[in-house]
Structures are given as C-alpha cells and as structure tokens.
Structure 1
C-alpha cells in the first residue's frame, strides 16, 4: 500500500461527521482490511507508522507525556491527508489536538486486529518506522 492508497482508505472509511470519530474509523478500517489480503494490512501498518513517525517532533510534543503524545498524533490521521499535511507544515495546527486532548489510541490497534482476523495469529508489529513517541531522533534533535 502506498501513501496515496493509505489516505484514500482513511477517507473511504471515515464516518460522515464533521469531526471523524477515531473509534468508528478504527472499526471500519479493521473490517475493510480484514476483507483483503494480509499484504494490505501490512502496507497499512507501514503507512500508519510512517505518518505517526513524521509527526514525532519536538515542536509538536514538547509538553505531552509519551502516551498522550502518541495518541494525539494518531488523532491527526482521521482528519485526512489535507489536514495532516497542514499540521506537518504548521505546528500551531497541532495545538487543538493536544489542548483538547483529542486521542485516537484505537487506530494503533487496527493493524494488530486485522492481522489477527486474517491469519488467526498475533502480529509482532515489525514496521519500517516506529511510531512510539520520541523514536524519531532527528525530530527531537536541537536545531
């Protein structure tokens, strides 16, 4: 799954509400990925990890706990690609997600649940990029 396919899947599975609910999106994504090949689930996991890794930067998370920062970064994804890219360009756009404690922890479990449903096995989460808070060392380096 490439980046365009990832964002298209997010858009297709997002609830039709002004503020997408992460829980509803997670259920829709899991169901959609479960209906396809395991390669789609793995591709989704890689793209989700990449998106979260790119937001793992000091200017976004300097005042948040590790878990809070992770769940808040995940909350940017349901807003769609346009909003996500705007947040990347302007850290001030991240502030509402952090200050309103908008969390999307449920999105983090989509790859695991889809993989389990497809294969009947647990997945070890081997993605190219770690989405864990502070793993993007370049994003936390002093400029």
Structure 2
C-alpha cells in the first residue's frame, strides 16, 4: 500500500451518504475486503502514521480552541475524543490533511469521525 493508493481509498468515501458512517465508508471497505491481509495492515499502518502526525499540542490547541487549553493542567482533553477529531482531518482527503498538518489553525472544531478506525 503506497501513499497514492491510501489516499485513493480515502477519496472513495461516499459523502453523499453523510450521517450513515457505514455507507460513507462502504466503497473503501469493499476494496479493503478484497485485498490481501498484508495490504489491509499496510493501510492501517499508514492511517496510524497520519493520525500520529496530527497528535501535537499545537493541533490540540486549535482543535479545542475556546474549550480547553492543552497547557492548562486543569482542562481535561480526552485522548479518544482528540483521536476521533484527527480522523476527520484524514477522512477529508490528502489536500485537507496536508493543509492542517502544515497549519494547525486550520484544524476543524466540534467534529469527529470515529468510524474511520473500524
């Protein structure tokens, strides 16, 4: 699984079915089900790498702007919630992902896409 194939799978999401995460993911799921197990694992590894790259204090700061400050020990930020928010960035495709990675102020707020992990 290379970068181009990874992002092609992400681009195959059917956003016309928004509100039904399984339906949104169905086109990519069908392709992944047909791939050899090592390719599925490679997709998961690339996904984990992309999500980890967004796991920074600055990205968290913009994700929770006005709600919580990652530098304030009294503000609780759920690790799971932040992971699901980072999924939104990846699910929106390569250009959006690269834009947010380079400029954390572009991080969307109040959104999650946990289903990407399944």
Give the TM-score of the pair, scaled to structure 1: 0.64
> Which consecutive unaligned segments of at least 5 residues does structure 1 have?
110-143
Larger relative CO (CA 8 A, sep 6+): 1 or 2?
1
Map 1:1-143; keep pairs closer than 5 Å: 1-11=1-11, 13-17=12-16, 23=21, 24-62=23-61, 63=68, 64-94=77-107, 97-98=108-109, 101-109=110-118
> How many residue pairs were aligned?
103
Quote the offset at 1:14 in angstroms: 1.5
Rate the CA distance shift 1:36–1:51 in 2: closer, same or farther, 3 A.
Answer: same
- Give the unaligned 5+ runs of structure 2: 62-67, 69-76
Distance 1:21 1:43 in 2: 28
Whole-Å separation in 1 of the counterparts to 2:20 and 2:10: 11
The CA RMSD measured in Å over matched residues stands at 2.1
